[in-house]
Structure 1
Amino acid sequence: MTPEVDATDVGRADVGTVGGPRRRRAYIGSFTSAGGPGVLVADVDDRSGALTVVGGADDVPDPSYLALAPDGRTLYAVSERTAGAVAAYRVTGDQPELTGPPEAVGDGPTHLALFAGHVLTADYGSGSVTAVPLRPDGALASPASGTLRHTGSGSGSGPRGRREPRAHQVVPDPSGRRFLAVDLGTDSVRVCALRDGVPVALDETALRPGSGPRHLALSPGGPDGSYVYVLNELLPTVTVCRWNALDIPLEPLGETPVLADAPEGDAYPSGLVVSPDGRFVWTATRGTDVLSVLAVEGDGLRLVTTVPCGGHWPRALAYAAGTLYVANERSGDVTWFTVDPHTGLPVRAGSIEVPAASCVVLGTL
């Protein structure tokens, strides 16, 4: 099963089984501790991709990352606090409604995904992955059914030296058999599974020491094989891996810089998405505040160009129907770009104000 309505799979408005055309929606997370509004709901214009805020909820602190159920009716949010939690919202209307109290997970969760009847969280502070079971209606079932604590450490130089486990992202594979856990602290990606509701590690792929992998995205291949693009936060590169989910291990093939020139300490890559046709990868980099366009060429990537992100400190990206969305945390806005389908080049088209914006998730209702 897919973890959420993935940005690369969302098309233009379609016709639902009941009641005519479905509405395209965007859900925006933000840091309430920095003045953010919590979770915002926005309508997406089918022609231009423009966003119009129609509702929101501020009852969960620091909902920094969101995931949407495949049917578009339930939205899940981490609460990125030291005592972390995950919450489920019903989003059949303009105002998100909690389905029940948030459930405790690990410390400082930064990402979440749906997998095998559970919601998984990547707990940055405790270096762990937590599984919380779901009820048939999509609500959370308490308590958490299991936790996988990462072990090991990463290495680097200077302030980016030896590091402890820092789980940053969880991504199910297309087959639904495995999920990938990205750990910035151990410079590695783990291939994992759920056994009786408990996350377990099956294999671990070491990446370049000091790279600090943050997020990854899979190419739009079939369930038995695809490329995995791993964005490294501490070294501004993308590591390309080949992966067959049935064979378990990832095979690193090489790295590609996301910037033509980036002084160490001034560039912190954050998010990436892959185009639906698999021809382009887009990344965001904080500090330099740019979007990078990378062309897929065989088993590797080629940096085509960079463009300004439209704000300051771009934290996350999302893509749908020819439009690329950027959550700019420190300038407090979500900016969207029209993407040329032939060159992959994003052209700024508009923005809305969202203080402390942290992520955008796209879907239909």
Structure 2
Amino acid sequence: MWVGTYTADSNGQGEGITAIAAATDGTLTWLGTAAEAPSPSFVAVHPSLPVVYAVGEAAQTVRAYRRNGEFGLEPLGGSWSAGAAVCHVAVDPDGRFIVVACWGDGNVILYGLDDDGGITSRFVAAPAKDPHAGEEGAVDIATGGVRVSRAHASLMLDDGRIMTTDLGFDLVRVWNYFPDSGLLLDHEVALPLGSGPRHLVQHPSSAVFIVTEYSIEVAVLLPGADGRFAISGRGPASEGGAVDGDAAAEIVLSQDARFVYTGIRGSNRICVLAVEGSGTRLRPVVDVPSGGNWPRHHIVTDGWLHVAHERSHQVTTFALDPTTGIPGEVQGQLSVGSPTALIPAG
């Protein structure tokens, strides 16, 4: 798998995009630095080509890389400008485009791709408007000042549309793709003031589960007959509740879609939630220590849970109980400088 990292330009200890291998017994092995890159804090893989995309968070760029050898990566074209604190990239399932989200200025940007996976065009989507503007207590939680747009992630929906989160404006936006103009807004869903929608995942039921960084919850969005999403429920992202200093991070589904795993930084927990109601409700089950400091990102693969700990510079592996979905004891740890994302290499 590829590991996104923070490098020196973000006060991190990584060197670029890191390659590690996962054995069938869950053991992780360091392969090396696949490509030196400036703070590639999030990485995505082309669905059919040996091409990888990485943001440069501090450099405000996005770049394509072509696989070279077993685990090496070489630049495919030059770097493209993005926005301030670009923090996420996702790839269209048909390989037509990528979408990046920028925490610093709220930009959501679509980049067109050619038949080789290279970046060929750039379209900045319409800026977000704060649905809570003028409400009492409407301040930017990150700074305490005036609220600003903070795009954080995008998700390719099963119906071909794109959903993006805006952590600063407590807003979810749904887009349609047009090859000659990029993303055009379909509709919006406002989440409660101060919730901070961060990352999101779609269940086979079509429900979208969104973890909120500030309120430490999971919001469930369901599409109506007209295709418009609406909030059908909200609940805690952990069984034990939040504590001071917590910030929710990643949310993923188990491979059988029976469980959801959320990561909570601060108290450093991985939280297991059971999926109920034919995929429309979540019930917190148990919290377990994440095995390190600041669990920024995690993935589930082949019955294993791998957790990237940004501040303790390690990836921790747990075996998952196939019946309960609960992580067991730590199976192993691999030292990686400032890991921020774990992405299967395909």
Q: Cα offset for 1:262?
A: 2.2
8 Å Cα contact 2:111/2:119 also seen in 1? yes
Q: Which runs of 5+ in 2 are unaligned?
A: none
Counterpart in 2 of 1:310?
A: 291
Q: What is the correspondence of 1:47-62 to structure 2 with a 5 Å cutoff? A: 47-62=24-39
* From 311, 316, 329, the counterpart of 1:335: 316
TM-aligned CA distance change 1:85 to 1:159, over 3 Å = closer
Which residue identity lines up with residue 91 of structure 1 in the other structure?
R
Q: What is the correspondence of 1:1-365 to structure 2 with a 5 Å cutoff? A: 26-33=1-8, 34-45=12-23, 47-71=24-48, 73-81=50-58, 83-93=59-69, 94-115=71-92, 117-141=96-120, 143-152=121-130, 154=132, 156=137, 160=141, 163-176=147-160, 178-195=161-178, 196-221=180-205, 226-243=206-223, 247-259=226-238, 260-263=240-243, 265-298=244-277, 299-347=280-328, 348-364=330-346
Q: Cα offset for 1:107?
A: 1.6
Which residue identity lines up with residue 84 of structure 1 in the other structure?
Q
Q: Cα offset for 1:133?
A: 1.2
Q: Cα offset for 1:254?
A: 1.4
Separation (CA, whole Å) in 2 of partners of 1:249 and 1:44: 39
Separation (CA, whole Å) in 1 of partners of 2:183 and 2:140: 32
Please, which moves more after superposition, 32-41 or 281-290? 32-41
Q: Cα offset for 1:50?
A: 1.9
SS at the partner of 1:349?
strand
Structure 1 length as normaliser, TM-score? 0.85
Separation (CA, whole Å) in 2 of partners of 1:122 and 1:135: 21
Q: Which string of whole-angstrom CA distances, capped at 9 and with x for unpartnered residues, describes residues 225-265 of structure 1?
A: x1110100000111111126x833212111121232323x4
SS at the partner of 1:360?
strand
- Greater relative contact order (Cα 8 A, min sep 6): structure 1 or 2? 1
Counterpart in 2 of 1:22?
A: none
Separation (CA, whole Å) in 1 of partners of 2:112 and 2:250: 27
Q: Which string of whole-angstrom CA distances, capped at 9 and with x for unpartnered residues, describes residues 23-74 of structure 1?
A: xxx10010002121211112221x2122212232453201000101112611
Q: Cα offset for 1:351?
A: 1.4
Q: Cα offset for 1:220?
A: 2.6
Separation (CA, whole Å) in 2 of partners of 1:329 and 1:72: 29
8 Å Cα contact 1:62/1:80 also seen in 2? yes
Which residue identity lines up with residue 357 of structure 1 in the other structure?
P
Separation (CA, whole Å) in 2 of partners of 1:158 and 1:70: 39
SS at the partner of 1:229?
strand
Q: Cα offset for 1:275?
A: 1.3
Separation (CA, whole Å) in 1 of partners of 2:86 and 2:20: 24
SS at the partner of 1:111?
strand
Q: Cα offset for 1:158?
A: 7.6
SS at the partner of 1:306?
strand
Please, which moves more after superposition, 148-157 or 30-39? 148-157
Q: Which string of whole-angstrom CA distances, capped at 9 and with x for unpartnered residues, describes residues 295-318 of structure 1?
A: 112131111110011100010111
Which residue identity lines up with residue 14 of structure 2 in the other structure?
G
8 Å Cα contact 1:203/1:248 also seen in 2? no
Q: Which runs of 5+ in 1 are unaligned?
A: 1-25
Q: Which string of whole-angstrom CA distances, capped at 9 and with x for unpartnered residues, describes residues 195-245 of structure 1?
A: 224212110001111101101111134xxxx1110100000111111126x
TM-aligned CA distance change 1:340 to 1:216, over 3 Å = same
8 Å Cα contact 1:232/1:238 also seen in 2? yes
